[in-house]
Amino acid sequence: MGKAILITGASRGIGAATARLAAARGYAVCVNFRENRAAADGIVAGIVTAGGRAIAVQADVSREADILAMFARVDAELGRLAALVNNTGVNDLQSRLESITAARLDRILATNVKGPFLCAREAVKRMSLRHGGEGGGIVNVSSAAARLGSPGEYVDYAASKGALETMTIGLAKEVAEEGIRVNAVRPGHIYTDIHATGGEPGRVDRVKALVPMKRGGQPEEVAAAILWLLSPEASYVTGTILDVTGGR
């Protein structure tokens, strides 16, 4: 059935661009979404029209049962899992730390940290030579926020990405002899809906003067970095965190 890729949060933004590029590179794609089925179905339809294979799978990555059911569908409908992109990441309204609630922290850490850990666990079980698999690649989508800290906006989100980067480094070493490479990309300011979720739809244009290249990035520019890290061209690259930030 060919090689499958599971991309979390692929109904829009960076995940959707990654799904389209992965399909063009020959992967059968699992387009995961949480609530916007129409958008996910639209990404799948575009891939199928272009001659590729894809399925849309609803799963909230903060829920273990949803993750297990999603991987089971990939096994049954797409075949051998060759790649995982832990792309889903959520923020919340811009806020100082002293206004952050426990409920907000629970949601951000469950989605941005626990979810990628559990997805990586399921991927390693399927890919690792140690478990009879054929190897594979994992790319975690971090953020320049892990370096910058996002003061006054979302230190919680930034810290969740710091955790994801540490997982990238540790897991890469843990499975390096088992045919699995684990890397991360660290996008800067990219034109997607996530900024509206943070309460400022025009954020990229406000901050782009801080970027040495003086512009925001496009989701396709992040997708290209992700697909390179998964490709044989990156065969000696693991545990690396690749900035896609226009120099910021």
Sole window of 71-79, 88-96, 172-180, 223-231 interacting with ligand NAP (rule: CB under 6 A): 88-96
Give Cα 63 to chain centroid, integer Å: 16
Nearer to ligand NAP, 8 or 128 (CB): 8
> Taking Cα atoms as reference points, which of 66, 70, 74, 98 lies closest to residue 3?
74
28 binding ligand NAP? (CB under 6 A) = no
Q: Interhelix angle for 102-109 vs 155-174, to 10°?
A: 30
Q: Interhelix angle for 219-230 vs 13-24, to 10°?
A: 50
238 binding ligand NAP? (CB under 6 A) = no
Among positions 43-82, residues that touch ligand NAP (CB under 6 A) are 60-62
Among positions 117-146, residues that touch ligand NAP (CB under 6 A) are 141, 143
Among positions 195-214, residues that touch ligand NAP (CB under 6 A) are 197
Sole window of 8-16, 46-54, 120-128, 147-155 interacting with ligand NAP (rule: CB under 6 A): 8-16
Q: Binding ligand NAP by CB under 6 A: which of 19, 27, 33, 167?
A: 33
193 binding ligand NAP? (CB under 6 A) = yes
| Calpha distance 40→169 (Å, rounded) | 31
Instruction: Tell me how far CA of residue 39 lies from CA of 4, 26, 57, 82, 197, in angstroms.
Output: 21, 22, 12, 25, 17
* Encoded tokens for 139: 């790319």
18 binding ligand NAP? (CB under 6 A) = no
Q: Binding ligand NAP by CB under 6 A: which of 20, 189, 225, 229?
A: 189
Sole window of 76-84, 125-133, 148-156, 182-190 interacting with ligand NAP (rule: CB under 6 A): 182-190
| Calpha distance 168→166 (Å, rounded) | 5
Convert 61-94 to b/e letters by CB count within 10 Å (16 or more is b).
bbbeebbeebbebbeeebebbbbbbbbbbbbbeb
Binding positions for ligand NAP, rule: CB under 6 A? 8-15, 32-36, 39, 60-62, 87-90, 111, 141, 143, 187, 189-190, 192-194, 197
